[in-house]
Structure 1
Amino acid sequence: MVKLIAFDLEGTLVKSKSSWVELHKRFGTWDKGKEYAERFFRGEFDYATWAELDASLWKGRKREEIMEWANSVEYLEGVEELFAFLRVNNFKIAIISGGLLCLAKRIGEELKADYVFANELVFDEEGRVTGKVLPWVDFRNKGDILLELKEKLKPELTIAVGDGHNDIAMFKVADVSIAINPHEGVEGDYLAKNLKEVKEIIAKILGQ
C-alpha cells in the first residue's frame, strides 16, 4: 500500500525562510513588501492581491535574476537521507509551498518529489517578470491540496511536515503531523529539531 507525505519547503527542507522576503531584500523592495504583508494580515486584501502587489515590485526583473537566487538556496542537513528512506518505504512525496515555484520546482526535481505545488511568477516572452502571479498555494489551502492528494491516492498513511502557521491546515488533514522547529503557536503530533529526527519519528511510526 502506498503512503503519502507532504512537506512545507522553506524552513523545513531548505535554509530559505521566505522566497518573497528574500527576493524583496535582494531587489531592495522590502520596505514596500513589508507594508503589503502587514496590510494583508490586517485583512485589507486577499492573498492573490497580496501576491500580485508583491510581484509588481519586481516587474521587469529577468528570469535569470530570480533563478540566480533560487539556485543559491541550500538544503537543510539530512534531506537526501530522509527522501531515500521515504522512497524505500513506498511513500509518495509532495512539496506544498507558499513560496515560489522557481525554487520549489528545482528542489522537487533534485529530490525526485512526486508532486510540487507553489506560487508561480508569470514571465513575458523576453523572460521578464510581468507582475502577475498564479497563486496556487495561499495561506489557507495547503490542507485542501493535501486532501485532494489523499482522495486521489487513497494512502494507508498520510504524514505532514512543516514549521509555519499555514502548515496547520495540512496538519489537520494528515493522519500524523510533525512540526520541525515550529513558529510560535504551531504544534504537531510530534516535534522535531531537524530532519534526522523527522526520519527517526517516521521510522518509529512505521514500527522500524
Structure 2
Amino acid sequence: MSVRLIAFDLEGTLVKSVSGWVELHKRFGTWEKGKEYAEMFFRGEIDYPTWADLDASLWRGRRREEIMEWVESVEYMDGAFELIEFLREKDFKIAILSSGLMCLAEKVGKELGVDYVFANELEFDEEGRITGKVTPHVDFEGKGTILRRLKEELKPELTVAVGDGYNDLAMFREADVSIAINPHEGVEGDHVVESLHEVREIIEGLLEEE
C-alpha cells in the first residue's frame, strides 16, 4: 500500500492564532520583554533553546489552566476539518510541525485526527505551574530535519508541505510540493494560496497526475 505524507505548520495555517508565544506574552503582560528576546534571537545573539527558555521564564509560576484557557480560545481556519478528512481518505499520513507550543498542537492534533505532532513543550511542576523551562523539539529551522526523518521512516511516494512562515522554508525544501498559505513576506512555495480550500484543490490536482 503506497503512502503519501503531508506536513502542516500549525499557527496561521490550520488555526487562526498567529503565534502562541506572542499571544501568551500579551495575555500575561510580558510582551515588552518577550519582544526584546525575539530581537536578540533574530540578531543571532542567542540560540533557539535559549530564546524559548527566556520566554518561558517570564511566565514562571503561571498555572496550566491559564495556558489552556488560551488554547481553548484558538479558532480553526475555515475548511481545516474537511481538508484533513479528505487527506485521510486519500491515504495521507498527516503531521503537524510547529515551533509553537505542544499544549495547542496536541489538542489540534487530537481533534483533527492527525498521525504525528511535533511542537515545543512548556515544562510544568507537580502543581501544574510553569517552571520556566521548555523542551524544544522543534527548533526554528528544525522542521526540515523532522520531515526528512518522517520521509525516511515512511518512504512516501508524495510529500507535501503547507505553511506560511520563514521557519517553514526548511520543510518546503524537503517536500516534493510546497504550498504557501497567506505567506509572510519573502516566503515562497511551489503554490501560493489564500485558504485551505485551495490547498485541497491543489492536492486533488496532484493526485490526478499520479
Shared topology, TM-score over 0.5? yes
1:5-154 matches, within 5 Å, as 5-154=6-155
Structure 1 segments, 4+ long, off by >6 Å, are none
The one-letter code matched in structure 2 to 1:28 is G
Q: Does 1:201 align with 2:202?
A: yes
Post-superposition Cα deviations, 1:185-208, rounded to whole Å, max 9, x if no partner, equal 100001111000000010011118
Distance between the aligned counterparts of 1:170 and 1:44, measured in 2? 24
Give RMSD over aligned pairs. Answer: 0.7
Rounded to whole Å, the distance in 2 between the matches of 1:191 and 1:35 is: 32
Percentage identity across aligned positions?
A: 72
3-state SS of 2:208 partner:
coil
- SS of 1:186 mapped into structure 2: coil
One-letter amino acid matched to 2:4: K
Aligned residue in 2 for 1:159: 160
* One-letter amino acid of the structure 1 residue matched with residue 112 of structure 2: L
Q: Look up the equivalent residue of 2:5 and give its one-letter code.
A: L
1:77-103 Cα shifts (integer Å, max 9, x gaps): 000110011001000000000100000
**1:139: how far off?**
1.1
Gaps of 5+ in 1: none
For these two proteins, the number of residue pairs brought into alignment is 208
SS across alignment from 2:17: coil
